[in-house]
Structure 1
């Protein structure tokens, strides 16, 4: 199979289908075969570690890049963990209250929400899946990034402007933004691990589908976009594979001779 490759995978709509709410069996088999062939496989996700479910953990990944590069773990050892400075907590929470924004603060151990905010689909879904959801807690919470569902709230740009020295944001459309500490991205996570493992960039692969995958796709030699992904990403891809529910991961791995 040649030199060892390093493969990075987004979760939602790349590994985990939002149609079936399951990981395709062909994807599970492809990941297993890639490991058997001596390649390294990593999750690279916008989710923080607290939002990594058992269905993902059971797949035997060599490590995780979580929270858009804010947390990096290899073989159960934490190599990097950027936690938002507590000195900024008050300003962030005051800004959210001032602009009446519903925000999830995402951390390694839990996600934190405003107990007084109106429950929405996102929060209901997180609770339904038994993720660790806790109320805002200035003293005890630790978080890496934020996710805001703002719908038609016209003050979202004002909030982002207020914290622009601390956070960049990714606009996912449909009234949602992901806010990530400056200097961090899925791409920065890849750079960290490429250096850590002393990998030839020619042997790096990334699999994604959405806007927050752009830095990941740009920081590897071989960028694979799912057929169900954002069409705007297709031009950034080395290869556009099939839909997630049409064995897209397996198809791409065979195309690149990672598996047979």
Structure 2
């Protein structure tokens, strides 16, 4: 019996075409809650990027790929990048400049912006943050960095940030986060908090950063617009966002 469902946002709940959650999906979520099923967000977005949810009362939020997890009124788990790794990143940026977004609890800011950042903002409508001096970042609580590098550069970057891991859902950038906070860890934090067993879980996703989460839950669902590697590990592949993929899968598993 499914008691908890975890949803990615971009490309899963939110369409890359309309940048909105379909009204039909909101109605389906209400029906699930009426049945007593707990609903959770599991996203790479920060707290300041959740306006797209239109204040729908989810039971918990796994944000920044698991670095900051909270309910409507309580922080459940938080994990920040170590000061020495942030300094190593700043030193690396001096030698090999690239756009980098630093995410704090309520905001994000960039060291610089270029066409890569603008391209991602056109997709997410969530990356229009300002750019400027980031030298004081080592004195702040930074939960995640958005690094606009390719996969080869990503490997080189992680060598100088040994206490961090990376996740990627787009070829233009990767999210660099501290070891320990992941979407699957966020799931475990909420299961413990609400006393729900892992065997009673389901998750929806579409990107590479969703793969560990989808492998972790009892029932994993890949959206029709998902990457092929996501579809390969999922228990079920549903329709895309624009064609009521969430609803189609929920009906398939007799939850609607």
Please give the TM-score of this superposition, normalised by the length of structure 2: 0.89
Equivalent in 30, 33, 54 of residue 31 of structure 2: 33
Aligned pairs (5 A) from 1:157-172? 157-163=155-161, 165-172=162-169
Deviation at 1:40, TM superposition (A): 0.6
Select the structure that is richer in helix.
2
Deviation at 1:134, TM superposition (A): 6.3
Q: Is the 8 A contact 1:145 1:181 kept in 2?
A: yes
The change in CA–CA distance for 1:31 and 1:213 in structure 2 (over 3 A counts) is: same
Aligned pairs (5 A) from 1:161-200? 161-163=159-161, 165-200=162-197
Q: Is the 8 A contact 1:51 1:131 kept in 2?
A: no
Q: Deviations over 1:10-69 (max 9, x none)?
A: 0000000001111112211111111111111000011122222x2214222111001111
The change in CA–CA distance for 1:38 and 1:87 in structure 2 (over 3 A counts) is: same
Deviation at 1:256, TM superposition (A): 1.4
Structure 1 residue runs of 4 or more that deviate by more than 6 Å after TM superposition: none
Q: Aligned pair count?
A: 252
Aligned to 1:17: 15
Q: CA RMSD in A?
A: 2.4
The change in CA–CA distance for 1:145 and 1:58 in structure 2 (over 3 A counts) is: same
Q: Deviations over 1:104-163 (max 9, x none)?
A: 11221111211xx343352583897586646425166421011111259x6443222211
Query: Distance between the aligned counterparts of 1:215 and 1:31, measured in 2?
Result: 24
The change in CA–CA distance for 1:40 and 1:105 in structure 2 (over 3 A counts) is: same
Q: Is the 8 A contact 1:225 1:239 kept in 2?
A: yes
Q: Is the 8 A contact 1:96 1:159 kept in 2?
A: no
Structure 2: give runs of 5+ residues left out of the alignment: none
Query: Distance between the aligned counterparts of 1:194 and 1:130, measured in 2?
Result: 31
Query: Distance between the aligned counterparts of 1:238 and 1:182, measured in 2?
Result: 27
Are 1:205 and 2:202 an aligned pair? yes
Query: Distance between the aligned counterparts of 2:153 and 2:72, measured in 1?
Result: 42
Structure 1: give runs of 5+ residues left out of the alignment: none
Aligned to 1:250: 247
Please give the TM-score of this superposition, normalised by the length of structure 1: 0.87
